[in-house]
Amino acid sequence: MSAELIDGKKIALDIEFELIEKISKMDSKPSLSVIQVGEDPASTSYIRAKSKAAERVGINLTHHHLPESTTKSELSSLVNKLNESEDGIIIQLPLPEGLDSVLNEINPEKDVDGFHPFNLGKLVQGEPGLRPCTPAGVVELLYRSGNDPSGKHVVVVGRSTIVGKPLSLLLSQKGVDATVTLCHSRTPNLESFTGDADIVVVAVGWPDTVSANMLKSGVVVIDVGVNRTDSGLVGDVSSDVKEVASQLTPVPGGVGPMTVAMLMSNTVDSALKK
């Protein structure tokens, strides 16, 4: 078997077209502010991708690039100012030490990254709210590639607050109805869980965490990982996974573009609620 690749880039473009349609009916363009503190090169390249997507769909994105020496009160006063004017605000992670608590000062209604405790609480309660972009992108990718998770056993590998944990909650919500197993670095015999899954989502940050011998034939594999190696960008699953999987996301070109598309979607939703 050679897995069909799930084209995240194309699916993200489909979502962008839907957003262009929605924005064309709005009185003014949605506004999104992205705050970057310091010079992390990965952050700079992620912000570039977000800026290009915003330009394509018609969102006014402003990049606030602050020096590494920015104090908590300086960052806090910028966030409070933007809370008054913007539809969406994100603070690009990682932040220099001591600034993380400012994340919670973003107005939850404008927290288009979906990381605010208020929005995470809404997710736990199954109430409407802004959802974290990567987990929301994975769920959207599943539906749009013909993989309704309802009734499926989905194994999520990785329990971070920005990917694995919220994804397990989204997938197990009423209406989505997957049966979810959440694995992590302390899970013994990882292969006993992944080998039973209909869908495996890997968000670990380490190449070759899941290989073909840990999977059943026909499984759908979503590879969230982004690892920079000497041979370029690779995901968290081994290249032999395509021999057993029925469908697989490529890295790059799988989950990454979906994360950006969901950020655009959250910004439009936030603007529509104004």
- Selecting among 7, 36, 50, 110, the annotated active-site residue is 50
Question: What one-character-per-residue DSSP string does 170-184 give?
Answer: HHHSTTT--EEEEE-
**Residue 92 known to be catalytic:** yes
Q: Is 205 in the site for ligand NDP (CB under 6 A)?
A: yes
- Segment interacting with ligand NDP (CB under 6 A) among 47-55, 61-69, 103-111, 201-209: 201-209
**Residue 50 known to be catalytic:** yes
Judged by CB under 6 A, the number of residues near ligand NDP is 26
On the 0-12 / 13-18 / 19+ scale of CB atoms within 10 A, 201 is buried
Q: Which of residues 82-141 bind ligand NDP (CB under 6 A)?
A: 134
- Selecting among 113, 223, 236, 269, the annotated active-site residue is 113
- Segment interacting with ligand NDP (CB under 6 A) among 57-65, 94-102, 109-117, 252-260: 252-260
Q: Is 226 in the site for ligand NDP (CB under 6 A)?
A: yes
Distances from the Cα of 198 to the Cαs of 142, 183, 192, 195, 246, in angstroms?
A: 12, 15, 13, 9, 10
Token look-up 């999987």 returns 245
Beta bridge partners of residue 154, listed in sequence order: 180, 199
- Smallest distance, ligand NDP to C-beta of residue 198, A: 19
Rank residues 78 and 255 by Cβ distance to ligand NDP and give the closer one: 255
Q: Dihedrals φ, ψ of 60, to 5°? A: -80, 105
Q: Which of residues 138-197 bind ligand NDP (CB under 6 A)?
A: 157-160, 162-164, 183-187, 190
- Smallest distance, ligand NDP to C-beta of residue 182, A: 9
Q: Is 212 in the site for ligand NDP (CB under 6 A)?
A: no
- Selecting among 7, 36, 87, 92, the annotated active-site residue is 92
Cα maximum dimension of the chain: 56
**224, 234, 241, 268: which one binds ligand NDP (CB under 6 A):** 224
Judged by DSSP in three states, 157 sits in strand
Residue 80 neighbours by CB distance under 10 Å:
13
- Smallest distance, ligand NDP to C-beta of residue 138, A: 9
Judged by DSSP in three states, 234 sits in strand
Burial per residue of 60-73, b for 16 or more beta-carbon CB atoms within 10 angstroms, e otherwise: ebebbebeeebeee
**Residue 173 known to be catalytic:** no
Give the torsion through C-alpha atoms of 78, 82, 88, 93, to 10 deg.
0
Q: Is 225 in the site for ligand NDP (CB under 6 A)?
A: yes
Residues acting as catalytic residues: 50, 92, 113
Binding site for ligand NDP (CB under 6 A): 134, 157-160, 162-164, 183-187, 190, 203-206, 209, 224-227, 255-256, 259
